């Protein structure tokens, strides 16, 4: 984990260069020597996956959780604030040679440390599937090394040249995006989002949503607090660089995923005990998973889903209410989301597909603004009159699953 954006939440000090320098210098120091005070340590990583990593990378990892456990073979993964590269090299083993891992970081010292072992790790793994790129995580489309190359060729000495540079950066975002639209299966991060300045946090969540493929997911470990930090906390440079001052209030952390368009947002882990308590405010680690893919038209294909329980009823991120044991009418998009075995809902849902498939090109619009019970005849067909007799004693064998 490393700094990517480095200004505090307090309006009185948002432009303070001393605070920005504090974060940059502290993480550069953390790349040179171990900094125990940077974020809270975690012992959750699979030791088998750490065995191949150089000791220096493991010792200079600064995080608060383990998002790597929610990534699968063959996937394209981006690690926001990749720091020394520990998470990336763990992920490289999980995604395998068919997958790809891209670490993004803003700190040159951390990037140098991560890249130092790139060839050695490729030799140990037997394949090369990791790269480290310089970027701000709230602006993943802009390749900062390309931008810096332009600056070296065109030093800025006037406002006009600054405007030219901004125009060049915009061209890079569109013509040579570092992370393109809908190009990533999974985005992970380990205690970095809190370092992004408050006015850019909304942009950050929208950037994650932009980069993910439909059906993709973000798995984010970060520091959260139970109430808003006090002014004293917000104006302490050391607490800012130490992942305290920029911590998300835990309820607001989840809301920001929702506001960016994610669904199926859930807390995977939450520190039972606070990592630190300052001025009566508790700070602890939390890992959240959120999915992309609820955009698109709502089409009627006579599908239904049954919520298994245990709650009497639940409501999803689109406002649909599902009553326990009831056949709830859903559009094709919601049916797919609810029954996707790789998604967040399938373990609690019984799918009820139609007896006769309705082709997508013949499906009519479905009003998704309500929550209606689906009559069985809508699923089976209004003319369904089939009679089926029991097949005899064999129907109740353990193999049949009927009793």
Give residue 19's pLDDT: 53
Can you tell me the distance from the alpha carbon of 256 to that of 342, in angstroms, rounded to the nearest whole number?
Answer: 23
Give residue 290's pLDDT: 98
* pTM of the complete model beyond 0.85: yes
**How does pLDDT run across 97-130, given as a tens digit for each residue?**
999 999 999 999 999 999 999 999 999 999 999 9
Can you tell me the distance from the alpha carbon of 219 to that of 265, in angstroms, rounded to the nearest whole number?
Answer: 10
Residue 128: which of 83, 102, 97 has the closest Cα? Answer: 97
From residue 78, alpha-carbon distances to 82, 131, 136, 186, 319 in Å are 9, 10, 13, 7, 30
Can you tell me the distance from the alpha carbon of 403 to that of 398, in angstroms, rounded to the nearest whole number?
Answer: 7
- Cis check for the bond before 310: say yes or no (omega within 30 of 0): yes
**How does pLDDT run across 266-305, given as a tens digit for each residue?**
999 999 999 999 999 999 999 999 999 999 999 999 999 9
Residue 101 CB-density burial (10 A; 0-12 exposed, 13-18 middle, 19+ buried) = buried
Give me the helices (H) in 195-263, please. Answer: 198-211, 231-234, 237-241, 250-259
**How does pLDDT run across 128-177, given as a tens digit for each residue?**
999 999 999 999 999 999 999 999 999 999 999 999 999 999 999 999 99
| Share of residues in the chain with pLDDT > 90 (%) | 71
């Amino acid at each position: 984990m490393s700094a990517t954006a480095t200004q505090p939440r307090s309006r009185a000090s948002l432009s303070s260069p001393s605070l920005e320098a504090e974060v940059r210098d502290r993480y550069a120091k953390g790349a040179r020597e171990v900094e125990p005070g940077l974020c809270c340590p975690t012992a959750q990583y699979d030791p088998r996956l750490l065995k191949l990593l150089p000791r220096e990378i493991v010792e200079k990892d600064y995080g608060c959780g383990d998002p790597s456990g929610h990534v699968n073979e063959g996937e394209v993964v981006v690690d926001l604030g990749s720091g020394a590269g520990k998470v990336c090299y763990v992920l490289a083993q999980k995604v395998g040679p068919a997958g790809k891992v891209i670490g993004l970081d803003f700190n040159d010292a951390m990037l140098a440390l991560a890249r130092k072992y790139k060839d050695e790790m490729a030799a140990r793994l037997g394949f090369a599937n990791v790269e480290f790129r310089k970027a701000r995580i709230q602006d993943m489309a802009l390749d900062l090394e390309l931008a810096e190359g332009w600056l070296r060729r065109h030093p800025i000495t006037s406002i006009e040249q600054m405007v030219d540079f901004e125009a060049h950066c915009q061209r890079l975002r569109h013509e040579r995006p570092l992370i393109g639209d809908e190009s990533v299966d999974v985005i992970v991060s380990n205690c970095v989002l809190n370092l992004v300045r408050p006015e850019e946090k909304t942009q950050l969540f929208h950037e994650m949503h932009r980069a993910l493929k439909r059906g993709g997911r973000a798995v984010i470990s970060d520091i959260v607090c139970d109430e808003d930090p006090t002014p004293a906390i917000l104006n302490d440079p050391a607490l800012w660089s130490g992942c305290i001052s920029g911590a998300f209030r835990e309820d607001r952390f989840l809301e920001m995923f929702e506001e960016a368009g994610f669904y199926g947002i859930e807390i995977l882990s939450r520190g039972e005990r606070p990592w630190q308590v300052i001025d009566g405010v508790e700070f602890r680690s939390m890992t959240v998973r959120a999915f992309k893919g609820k955009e698109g038209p709502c089409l009627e294909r006579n599908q239904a889903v049954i919520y298994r329980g245990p709650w009497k009823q639940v409501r999803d991120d689109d406002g649909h209410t599902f009553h326990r044991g009831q056949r709830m009418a859903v559009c094709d998009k919601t049916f797919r989301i609810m029954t996707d075995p790789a998604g967040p809902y399938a373990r609690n849902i019984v799918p009820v597909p139609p007896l006769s498939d309705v082709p997508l090109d013949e499906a009519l619009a479905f009003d998704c603004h309500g929550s209606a019970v689906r009559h069985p005849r809508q699923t089976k067909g209004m003319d369904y009159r089939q009679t089926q007799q029991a097949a005899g004693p064999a129907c109740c064998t353990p193999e049949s699953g009927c009793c």
